[in-house]
Amino acid sequence: MKPQTLRVAAVQMACSADPDTNLRHIDEQLEKAASAGVQLVLLQELHNHRYFCQSENPENFDLAETIPGPTTEHLSEQARRHELVIVASLFERRASGLYHNTAVVLDSDGSLAGKYRKMHVPDDPGYHEKFYFTPGDLGFLPITTRAGKLGVLICWDQWYPEAARLMALAGAELLLYPTAIGWDDEDNETEQQRQLEAWMTVQRAHAVSNGLPVIACNRSGYEADPEGGSNGIRFWGSSFIAGPQGELLARAPAQENILLIADIDLARNEQVRRIWPFLRDRRIDAYDDLTRRFRD
């Protein structure tokens, strides 16, 4: 039977250039999480590697792996051993020349419960993801686990209310965002703070407008541009866990490796939706233009 109180965790970390080192750190955090009674663990976006999308280099496609594959097999064993639901984030090799930014969900018995392929793919200075990733084609469908129905989205998806709403309408009980986002050191402190607050605000707003808890796990640490074309990225960490009214249950520092833990009362989803019945009052008869790019 699904628990009403769910202890969850996010593994915020600075990534090494060595995938084995990163996985060893993750293994240590999973063991700590299990010892603390955690039932669901969210890992950050593309946690096996440094953020290779800072440059367009065809050799980076060698980092991709199949699903199932080496990392899912490794984390599957960790999930089974610790009885944890694990949400991981991988560079998926689907076929020759076809790659995705993919989240995989491993249930607490080690089985592969499902996967989500990133739908919104950015192309900005320092974030050349369109070079590497084909947009997702699995839609916005929650993945059923022993911890509940998980609405898993990835990084750039977090800015789109449509994605969170569609997950909610399909029955998601939590929204989860593995993320890799940070600052350009050329931006002044005021601008950096605006960006961070916007990032937190938009995701907490998804919690409010859908009456669902949100877990956002972001990487930390500085990563140089391997080709020297920019100042690199200082990932701002600040992972957080929020309740269904956007209330902060836990928040990580900006620059620290941390296992962030919080207890989520899933029964509050129902209570909040009764007092704020946004789904009841939606004007679905008037939303046809949402499928247009722009109304001229």
Q: In whole angstroms, what is the distance from residue 141 CA to residue 71 CA?
A: 23
Q: Are 22 and 43 in contact (CB under 8 A)?
A: no
Q: For the chain, what is the radius of gyration of the CA atoms?
A: 18
Residues 243-258, buried b or exposed e (16+ Cβ, 10 A)?
A: bbebeebbebebeebb
Alpha-carbon distances of 3 from 6, 8, 264, rounded to whole Å: 6, 12, 10
The tokens describing 124, both together, are 């900005």
Residue 123 carries which side chain, given as an amino acid letter? D
How distant is the alpha carbon of residue 278 from its chain centre?
A: 24
Residues classed as catalytic: 45, 118, 155
Among residues 45, 56, 60, the alpha carbon closest in space to that of 13 is found at: 45
User: Residue 265: beta bridge partners?
Assistant: 5
Residues 13-44, buried b or exposed e (16+ Cβ, 10 A)?
A: bbbbeebeebbebbbebbebbbeeebbbbbbb
| Bond from prior residue into 178 cis (ω within 30 degrees of 0) | no
Count, residues in the chain = 296
Residue 149 carries which side chain, given as an amino acid letter? K
H or E element at residue 192: helix 189-210
The tokens describing 241, both together, are 């866990």
